[in-house]
């Protein structure tokens, strides 16, 4: 698997990380333990004790430190062993890897490159639960498939017309009209107008609109999308420019999604979504989330089946179509940035 190491990967929802309770996740084949110390500090270490390789995520938080609960070695948040019960001498090598970790937009992010190079400015700007304008709900899903296949799916919405026929009831336009793709320094932006269509089922206003979905898909695999319905004629009037978002009259919704590669063939998918307070209420949000869960289950069936076919194909080759433009640009960017920061041998 080729992934960019110098990037922030979503490891958990903020809400799911209880103070004093270590949590385990594998990212790029590396087991990681994350915890909030007594003072509230966030820490991330290699989840593998130097003594006999027991997971530190089964350990106990003690003040700012974490104790392995197999034979009691005590670790500082920087990864160094500071106590070996019954032994005074602590070997130089008694140390596990420390990861840079950050909390923003309701996610806990782990930097998979050198901790010293961690750049908080590279954390994608998602919509968190602290955003007062939106009524969000969250979910997550584990994939028995490589994260790259999930990324590819999120970069090409032509599948909406087929995979999500039942859930999103997306119009055929998604398959027949190509969105505008803009290359960004660390990803792509995808803008797609669908003219003359009803607003989403949960929205308060009936009638026909020009609907826009506009999202950024950013390294390492984070989607941040805004959707809204505008008066008829807006798409035409805007040409290829962005509309004035304040002129949306119905169905304004956001969603943030992150795909985290765990192992060669597993990925964790974190997502939140919800309407703008002026465009929906809790009931609208719940109904939207129900549809999203149905839709993401549809993606999972298709992508895991695709993975099984790939794995049993001796020389798997693909044949891109024009709908793959965003996929191709993004995957080339991954190759370039991964090359600039070579993958460690065990997570190539």
Beta carbon of residue 96, minimum distance to ligand FES (angstroms, whole number): 10
Out of 44, 68, 225, 258, the residue judged to bind ligand FES by CB under 6 A:
68
| Of residues 54 and 137, the one with the C-beta less far from ligand FES | 54
Answer yes or no whether residue 293 interacts with ligand FES by CB under 6 A: no
Output the DSSP codes for 80-104.
BEEEBTTB----TT-B--B-EEEEE
Q: What count of other Cβ atoms lies within 10 Å of the Cβ of residue 226? A: 18
Answer yes or no whether residue 90 interacts with ligand FES by CB under 6 A: no
Judge contact between 259 and 154, C-beta under 8 A: yes
Beta carbon of residue 58, minimum distance to ligand FES (angstroms, whole number): 9
Q: How far apart are CA 220 and CA 143, in angstroms?
A: 17
Beta carbon of residue 317, minimum distance to Fe ion (angstroms, whole number): 23
Judge contact between 175 and 158, C-beta under 8 A: yes
| Of residues 76 and 324, the one with the C-beta less far from ligand FES | 76
Phi, psi angles (nearest 5°) of residue 159:
-70, -15
Q: What count of other Cβ atoms lies within 10 Å of the Cβ of residue 287? A: 15
Give the binding range for Fe ion (CB under 5 A) out of 49-57, 166-174, 227-235, 295-303. 295-303
Answer yes or no whether residue 70 interacts with ligand FES by CB under 6 A: yes
Instruction: Choose among 173, 168, 172: nearest CA to 298.
Output: 168
Out of 34, 44, 45, 73, the residue judged to bind ligand FES by CB under 6 A:
73
| Assigned token pair, 247 | 């002129």
Task: Tokens 């938080």: give the residue.
Answer: 61
Give the binding range for Fe ion (CB under 5 A) out of 45-53, 59-67, 269-277, 298-306. 298-306
Which positions touch Fe ion (CB under 5 A)?
A: 299
Residues at the site binding ligand FES, with contacts judged by CB under 6 A:
49, 51-52, 54, 68, 70-73
């Amino acid at each position: 698997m080729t992934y960019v190491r110098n990037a922030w990967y979503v490891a958990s929802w903020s809400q799911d990380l209880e103070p004093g309770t270590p949590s385990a996740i594998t990212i790029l084949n590396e087991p990681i333990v994350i915890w909030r110390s007594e003072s509230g500090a966030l820490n991330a270490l290699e989840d593998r004790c130097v003594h006999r390789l027991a997971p530190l995520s089964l350990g106990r938080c003690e003040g700012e430190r974490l104790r392995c609960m197999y034979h009691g070695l005590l670790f500082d948040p920087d990864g160094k062993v500071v106590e070996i019960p019954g032994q005074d001498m602590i070997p130089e090598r008694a140390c596990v890897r420390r990861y840079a970790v950050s909390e923003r937009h309701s996610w806990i992010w782990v930097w998979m490159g050198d901790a010293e190079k961690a750049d908080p400015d590279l954390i994608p700007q998602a919509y968190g639960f602290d955003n007062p304008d939106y009524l969000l709900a969250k979910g997550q899903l584990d994939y028995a498939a490589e994260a790259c296949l999930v990324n590819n799916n999120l970069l090409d919405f032509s599948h909406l017309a087929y995979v999500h026929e039942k859930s999103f009831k997306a119009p055929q336009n998604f398959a027949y009209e190509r969105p505008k793709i803009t290359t960004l320094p660390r990803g792509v932006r995808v803008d797609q107008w669908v003219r003359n269509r009803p607003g989403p089922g949960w929205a308060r206003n009936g009638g026909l609109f020009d609907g826009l979905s506009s999202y950024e898909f950013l390294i390492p695999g984070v989607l941040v999308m805004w959707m809204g319905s505008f008066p008829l004629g807006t798409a035409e009037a805007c040409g290829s420019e962005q509309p004035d978002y304040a002129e949306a009259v119905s169905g304004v919704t956001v969603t943030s999604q992150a795909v985290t590669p765990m192992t060669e063939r597993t990925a964790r998918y974190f997502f939140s979504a919800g309407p703008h307070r002026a465009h929906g209420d809790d009931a609208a949000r719940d109904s939207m989330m129900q549809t999203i869960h149905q839709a993401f289950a549809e993606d999972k069936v298709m992508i895991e089946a695709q993975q099984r076919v790939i794995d049993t194909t001796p020389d798997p080759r693909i044949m891109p179509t024009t709908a793959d433009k965003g996929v191709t640009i993004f995957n080339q960017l991954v190759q370039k940035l991964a090359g600039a920061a070579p993958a460690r041998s065990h997570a190539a």
